[in-house]
Chains A and B, each alone.
Chain A
Amino acid sequence: MEWETVIGLEIHAQLSTNSKIFSGSSTAYGAEPNTQASLVDLGMPGVLPVLNKKAVEMAIRLGLAINATITPRSVFARKNYFYPDLPKGYQISQFELPVVAKGHLDIELDDGSSKRIGITRAHLEEDAGKSLHEDFHGKTGIDLNRAGTPLLEIVSEPDMRSAKEAVAYMKKLHALVRYLGVCDGNMQEGSFRCDANVSVRKPGQPFGTRAEIKNLNSFRFIERAINYEVERQIELIESGGKVVQETRLYDPDKGETRSMRGKEDANDYRYFPDPDLLPVEITPADIEAVRASLPELPDAKKQRFIQTYQLGSYEAEALTASSELGDYFEAVAKGTQDAKLAANWLMGGLAALLNKHELEISASPVGTDALTQLLNRIKDNTISSTAAKDVLEAMWHGEGTVDAIIDQKGLKQISDTGAIEAMIDEIIAKNPSQVADYRSGKDKLFAFFVGQAMRASKGKANPNTVNDILKQKLEG
């Protein structure tokens, strides 16, 4: 019997508040060490935390977007453990009463069907600082700039059954937090990171013992780490061993997970309600106010794109991956009155350039107006699609406006029927045997004549005009 994989994810999303969750320090990334650490962040004797209401509002935003229950009275608790980058010796988190309870997110599977992933909870907590091990001559440096940065930890049910599903879930959540404006989603800077709980079992059996894989900060690593871990567990069990509950670390260089600490080394965190903070009271009116400020969410946008623009499910999904991409698409679709063409170019030529240069749509050097003009030049037969690709590339590199580039490169399409007729007459005259073959039924030769015509025009002849005239003359 086949093995079944069981995966649950804990995702830490860093909330995009300007200041920290319990102090007024800035949360900006990349400052000089310890320049964004206030007395509160340093855990000075006598200081007290004051909750940043913005962080709570952002948690509610996410909660509403995943159809979760918002806890009317949630409680901050202290998670006690010693670590040099944890200044107070405890992390302020939420334990028994998280701000967001039970919700769900639907993911799309490869076969086009949809699967509902349960979300157990999402709770607010503060991030720790960073330990720096280089340049301190055998000692460790501590940078507390990150200490106190607000995090939302989103815990899923063990509902995923493959690494692919896990990635799909994570991507969906990644898109969602960015739609909501609650997290910048920057995985390299650690703004969106994930721990995976992985186990295997025979279908129908109770859950197997799980291993927790820590700190996965790219979609690729998650897929690889889970697949590696699943193989490891299956091999272990099949060779008579037992999976032990432990925390494992993924090594992206070696492509393997390795044991970090066992269950017996796990801390007893001695959670208890933080007496320095009052319970967080959230009224139905607070919730409605947040609900009213929610943007159109990815699923709704996707359905609207399918209906309004007659897009396929796959295209609609791709074009709603971020709200910026969706907005970009809509602007071009409206400007060209041709949603299909806009979709093709966004997912084709422009996407290729963005991928190549590792840019987000919001950073694209070619804006919606420029792309709209370009596509309109295809539509009004000024240039061919092939030529348009060159123009796009030139615009990307800042070589000028659409029309300037077309002129400069001499890409204007020949639609003058007289000129094309003359050209075709010449081709027919030069290739009598092919003409004879075609006329005797070798239809495939039509492409040969088109090719000749395009070559003769250096690619500038309007292919539709060429087709029409060729047909006339050859049928002759």
Chain B
Amino acid sequence: MSQDAISALSLKELHDGIHSGQFSVMEATDTYLDRIERLDGKLNTYITVLREQAQQQAQAIDQQIRKGELTGPLAGVPYALKDLFCTEGILTTCGSKMLSNFISPYDAHVATQLKQAGGVLLGKNNMDEFAMGSSNENSAYGVVRNPWNTNCVPGGSSGGGAAAIAARLAPMVLGTDTGGSIRQPGSFCGITGIKPTYGRISRYGMIAFASSLDQCGPMAVSAEDCALTLNVIAGFDERDSTCANEPVPDYTATLNDSVQGLRIGLPKEFFATGLDSQVAAVIERAVKEFEKLGASVKEVSLPNSHLAVPVYYVVAPAEASSNLSRFDGVRFGHRCENPKDLMDLYKRSRWEGFGEEVKRRIMVGTYALSAGYYDAYYLKAQKVRRLIKQDFVDAFKEVDVIMGPSAPTTPFKIGEKADDPVAMYLADIYTIPTSLAGLPGMTFPIGFAADGLPVGMQLIGNYFQEARMLNIAHQYQLNSDWHQQVPAQFA
């Protein structure tokens, strides 16, 4: 089978092709390695490409498959990881100069899961430094470009992974989402991605940004591919105390359930000022498709959602300011040259190692936790966070799922918002409320705006309703081909 044909396959087709002997794991791996080599110069979606290691892994897995030792759905499937998942013996930069020399001594939980499932790690994806950003312009390893228009940003912070999927430089990647870092770049790049319920997947080995919000999730072409991946990575891990000890369903088992009778809620706050009219039009069209499939639509209200962005920009930087304290130049990571004393070592190592946005958030977070300000900022933010969560609890009394835009606009131009942090923060206005509530949220492509750039639908479910969400997105994808579109230069 030709490389072009292989790169058009879904995870299930890849698996079937390998296991029926149509092509080898090595051929599948080389397909993606060659595409990365040929095309990634235009996009910069990878910080590290593991050509040699991936080929060795592919060879070993080919043998294991031949001997019948590996049969699982991801056996032989190539994938990539956002560069904040620790990978043993492999550079793990978190998009930062601070970790430009950090070879992780261990594997993140999800890296272990995928390794054991027989996946082939192609490399590590570019990202906003320490997952802080909505455009992937905050990477110490250069901006990532949007495959649909290389003058535009791919979104962030999992922008490298999202763009890699859109350009078919990997059939599946893992990203992370703290305030929208899977959903917003997923929307910008026209791919499918899911941020599960907080606690659904172990955070062990994910370099922390904001611990109470961080959650990892798959990004792929289709909901079905996300379901296959979630089957492997979801579940309890005793190394993460916040990981939920909830049973894991087979996420593929209910993909074909009907959406007849599904009650969809549209939060009126998500369709108010700030939403680009073209994006709104695409969303409305997709909602009508669901009505055609038998769903009912109802307006709901999330009255406190306008407070989500300010709350988030207190809570997340506060946690980040503490999480990032370990990067001090003492044990690992960047250390300044010739420190004259301990204070100088700390100050210069951190000054040189961290980028501007990271420093800004450390400052904001430190301030929010300071004596005399804690009650007014951090504590108040946590109280409002509970109100935001309650809004969702109330809404889910009336509807089964909530739909709305994943992002207020289509991808913006590189550099357009780089000097305006607040404008940049508003790119996550529709994804942040879900994150603060700890609810699962996903994005899937539903068409293009007049500028030719993709628009994503955000689907929000109740706690641990990932199976239902994937089912709903899958039903849409059975009736549309938006997710199958590939940008012309990468087809």
Contact = CB atoms under 8 A, between A and B. Distances in A.
Contact of A45 (B99, B240, B318): B99
The CB with the most chain B CB atoms within 10 A, among A88, A272, A277, is that of: A272
A46 interface: yes
Contacts of A312: none
A140 B322 CA distance: 24
B370 interface: yes
Contact of B86 (A46, A271, A276): A46
Contacts of A314: none
22 contacts: A39-B105, A44-B105, A46-B108, A46-B208, A47-B204, A48-B204, A49-B241, A51-B241, A78-B322, A80-B369, A82-B328, A82-B346, A84-B330, A89-B325, A89-B328, A140-B342, A268-B371, A270-B322, A270-B366, A272-B319, A276-B241, A278-B242
B204 A87 contact: no
The CB with the most chain B CB atoms within 10 A, among A45, A140, A270, is that of: A45
A39 B102 CA distance: 14
Interface in B336-387: 342, 346, 366, 369-371, 374, 378
Contacts of B99: 45
Given A80-B325, A272-B374, A275-B319, A45 B104 contact: yes
B325 A90 contact: yes
Contacts of A271: 369, 374
B218 interface: no
Interface string A256-278: 00000000000010111001111
Contacts, number: 101
Interface string B163-180: 000000000000000000
Interface residues of A, number: 29
B203 interface: yes
Interface string B297-332: 000000000000000000000110110111110111
A88 B328 CA distance: 9
Nearest to A80: B322
Interface string B86-106: 100000101000010010111
Interface in B171-214: 203-208, 210-212
A128 to B, nearest CB: 13
A45 B239 contact: no
A272 B378 CA distance: 9
Interface in A240-293: 268, 270-272, 275-278
B16 interface: no
B325 to A, nearest CB: 2
Given A48-B241, A142-B330, A84 B342 contact: yes
B141 to A, nearest CB: 17
Nearest to A37: B331
Task: List the 7 shortest-distance A-B pairs measured between CB atoms, nearest first.
Answer: A89-B325, A270-B369, A275-B212, A275-B211, A46-B205, A45-B207, A43-B326
Given A84-B330, A270-B369, A272-B378, A50 B238 contact: yes
Contacts of A84: 328, 330, 342
